[in-house]
Chains A and B, each alone.
Chain A
């Protein structure tokens, strides 16, 4: 009896977590499917124009964000891992802090920098480089800037985690054996840190694709992205089924593009 108790009890203790995950994560995904059924036909006429363009634009935005953050994050993580020494903990803290504060605060902070009377315009006007304030808000530039700003820590942290465990002697060995810095980076360091880059890619590309608050706040209502369209349909009174089917279509596109990106990085790793 006791034996039975001890073999069954752990399962019942472990079950709620599983149940919660299935009930409130996977069942809702099925609900989207049920909700959308029958309304896919609405999208056939649009698939080659409006909605396809929205999805493409979101893919481009997510791709640009991932690319730019990668270019900014890699040298930073490299510095943190190998050169920072005593400042390391403090600099790491400065990276984690924006990751743990609400992104709306950062959006508001950038308003102060980019506005007509903001930091950049005041600075340039005072130096007489420009005569009238630049229009820096409500355009693609502002959206990408904000996305890069917000997602940068998500890219730095996983790359840093991999580089921190990296044996610096490997780099020294490569240099001693006559490889140049460029060769060492391209053939030794980057292929060995691909797992970190992949983790960062997942952490940036996936949420960036569905982002709806940043485009709306920084881009005005000039451009529609997947997130904007979905939130507009879902929160509208009679368009929930349209929102559901659009969500499904974009998830499929997202998964396909993630697999492609993953394949490309794996190919780079395999190629040395």
Chain B
């Protein structure tokens, strides 16, 4: 009796939390199919806003910039992360260095952004794609290094020792044994960094300069001027895209446990 009461109570509570999470999103998606702009009620079904979205040059440019930055910073931070773990495997004393990467957790993103901005202006580096990639790579490193290192620590070390005993060089062992074992975590980390960099707002806002516009900055500029249903259409497309990415992430998660 008591247990059933608790069970139904928690179920109801969870249902409420999920409704809170999803009602706004559902409204947003619904209104992207409405024939008239928002303050008016529902009129009829249309795909006009998607058509308009497809033909918006600014949007495509912002999308292109976001993708470039996300891919570059993903590649950079993953490669550096993997080599850092390689160094750890070769018996490097990394425990102290590893603490350096946890700084990203304690220092808020806005402080990092302010720091990078003053750093760039003190060194008179012009803001643009390069500074964006630098900033997002720092963000990515903070995720990928602790993640890969923890997964590496959980590997069966006997496999690596066996490989070394049987005459493989450290490099061979790394590429034929360690890396394949770490592959699920590696793919998951890549995906996570891509998503984080693609959605990042704070660092982009400070480090993009006036000429560059990533997708979040584009959305902000349109949201400030008043919401047209084109933004709804864009949001729906982005939601579908990130659902696809998250589905891949969730299926990987079973093996690599990043959450």
Binding site for B on A (CB under 8 A): 6-7, 10-11, 13-18, 20-22, 24-29, 31-32, 34-35, 72, 75-76, 78-80, 83, 89, 91-98, 100-113, 115-117, 119, 122, 149, 152, 157, 160-161, 181, 202-203, 206-207, 209-213, 217, 227, 230-231, 234-235, 240, 243-244, 247, 251, 254-255, 258
Pick from A21, A105, A202: contact of B235, CB under 8 Å: A105
Contacts A18-B84, A83-B7, A83-B11; is A32 near B24 (CB within 8 Å)? no
Q: How far is the CA of A152 from the CA of B21 in the complex (A)?
A: 9
Chain A proximity mask over B173-207: 1 for CB below 8 Å, otherwise 0:
00000000000000000000001000101100110
Task: Give the Cβ gap from A257 to chain B, nearest Cβ, in Å.
Answer: 12
CB distance from B155 to the nearest CB of A (A): 17
Bitwise interface map of B from 73 to 107 toward A, beta carbon under 8 Å scored 1, else 0: 00010001101101111101010010011011111
| Contact between A255 and B106, CB atoms less than 8 A apart | yes
Contacts of B89 in A (CB 8 A): 10
List, in ascending order, chain A residues with CB within 8 A of B104's CB. 25
A-B pairs with beta carbons under 8 Å apart, 11 shown: A26-B103, A29-B111, A76-B13, A83-B11, A93-B246, A102-B238, A113-B24, A157-B259, A206-B108, A213-B205, A231-B205
Instruction: From the candidates B10, B13, B107, B216, name the one contacting A104 in the complex (CB within 8 A).
Output: B216
Kindly provide the distance from the CB of B92 to the nearest chain A CB, expressed in whole angstroms.
6
Q: Interface residues of B: mostly helix, strand, loop or mixed?
A: helix
What is the chain A residue whose CB lies nearest that of B247?
Answer: A93
Name which residue of chain A comes closest to B84, CB basis.
A17
Shortest distance between the CB of B144 and any CB in chain A (Å): 9
> Which chain A residue has the least Cβ–Cβ distance from B7?
A83
Apart from A101-B238, A234-B118, 20 more pairs, CB < 8 Å: A6-B169, A6-B170, A18-B100, A21-B138, A24-B138, A26-B103, A28-B112, A31-B115, A76-B13, A79-B11, A93-B246, A100-B245, A102-B216, A104-B201, A108-B28, A206-B106, A210-B202, A227-B110, A234-B117, A244-B118
Interface of A is mostly: helix
Which residues of chain B are near A34, meaning CB under 8 Å? 118, 122
Tell me the B34-64 residues at the A interface (CB within 8 Å): 38-39, 41
For chain B, the count of residues having a C-beta within 8 Å of the partner chain is: 88
Task: Provide the residues of chain A in CB contact with B157, threshold 8 Å.
Answer: none
Which of B28, B83, B119 has the most A CB atoms < 10 Å from its CB?
B119
* B13 and A75 contact, CB distance less than 8 A: yes
The answer to whether A102 touches B219 (Cβ under 8 A) is: yes
In the assembled complex, which residues on chain B have CB atoms less than 8 Å from the CB atom of A244?
A: 114, 118
Q: Which residues of B contact A235 (CB under 8 A)?
A: 206
Question: For A161, what are the chain B residues with a Cβ–Cβ distance below 8 Å?
Answer: 259
Cβ-defined contact, A24 with B114, below 8 A:
no
For residue A25, which residue of chain B has the nearest CB? B138
- Whether B39 contacts A117 by the Cβ 8 Å rule is yes
Interface contact B118-A28, CB-CB below 8 Å = yes
